[in-house]
Structure formats: structure tokens, C-alpha cells
């Protein structure tokens, strides 16, 4: 279920230190060590999944738990808004090949001209 060579799997196992913000049986949320905003967390499933494209129906609980914990953090921290971003594949900027979502708040990511 975990990959012994993956940095996020090592964080989940506790062999690499991190600041845990919140967790449940499916996901761990840690502070990003190189934050791009005042609040920048990583939401990491506790199963080694490479990216969104590798999810199967058997993994659907991980998808729901990622969204649920993002909602819960937003509510608990009384945030007025947040971005939830996942880079999928090297060409999309993914550098750690363990599915994860960036939870970003406190900065408007679109103020520099980026639009969707």
C-alpha cells in the first residue's frame, strides 16, 4: 500500500518529520515546507497512488476524503476561500509522484494574470 522509496509514504509512516495539520485513516495533511501562500498545506492519501489518472473505483474513498478534509480545514480555520490544486504528470509540474493536493489560502493565485 505504501512505497518505501516515496518521500510522502515516508512522511505518512513517520520516518520523515513533518508538521501534521490534520489526518484521518485515509489522508494526512501537512504544512508545505516551501509555502507559496500564508496557508499552504499538502493533502496526501495514505495509499501510494501516483496521480489522479491512477485512481480506480476501489480508491473512491480516498477521493472523497481529500475533498472532505479540505472542506473541514476551511470550516475549522474560518477561511473565506481556498484553492485546491493537483499537478498530474511531469508535464503538468508534478515532481513527487504520489497523489497530493495543494490546499492554498490567504493569497489570490489569479492576481498575477493567471486565469482559468
Q: Are 43 and 83 in contact (CB under 8 A)?
A: no
- DSSP one-letter string for 78-107: T-S--EEE---SGGGT--S-S--EEEEESS
Q: Can 102 be counted among the known catalytic residues?
A: no
Catalytic-role residue among 40, 98, 100, 102: 100
Grid cell 470550516 is found at: 75
Report the C-alpha gap between 12 and 79 in whole angstroms. Answer: 26
Q: Could you list the active site residues?
A: 100
Amino acid at each position: 500500500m505504501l512505497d518505501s522509496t516515496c518521500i510522502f509514504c515516508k512522511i505518512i509512516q513517520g520516518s520523515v518529520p513533518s508538521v501534521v495539520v490534520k489526518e484521518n485513516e485515509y489522508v494526512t495533511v501537512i504544512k508545505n515546507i516551501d509555502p507559496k501562500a500564508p496557508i499552504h498545506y499538502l493533502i496526501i492519501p495514505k495509499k501510494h497512488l501516483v496521480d489522479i489518472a491512477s485512481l480506480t473505483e476501489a480508491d473512491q474513498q480516498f477521493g472523497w476524503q481529500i475533498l472532505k478534509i479540505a472542506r473541514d480545514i476551511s470550516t475549522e480555520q474560518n477561511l473565506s476561500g481556498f484553492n485546491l490544486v493537483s499537478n498530474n504528470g511531469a508535464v503538468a509540474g508534478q515532481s513527487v509522484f504520489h497523489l497530493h493536493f495543494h490546499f492554498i489560502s490567504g493569497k489570490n493565485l489569479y492576481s498575477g494574470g493567471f486565469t482559468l
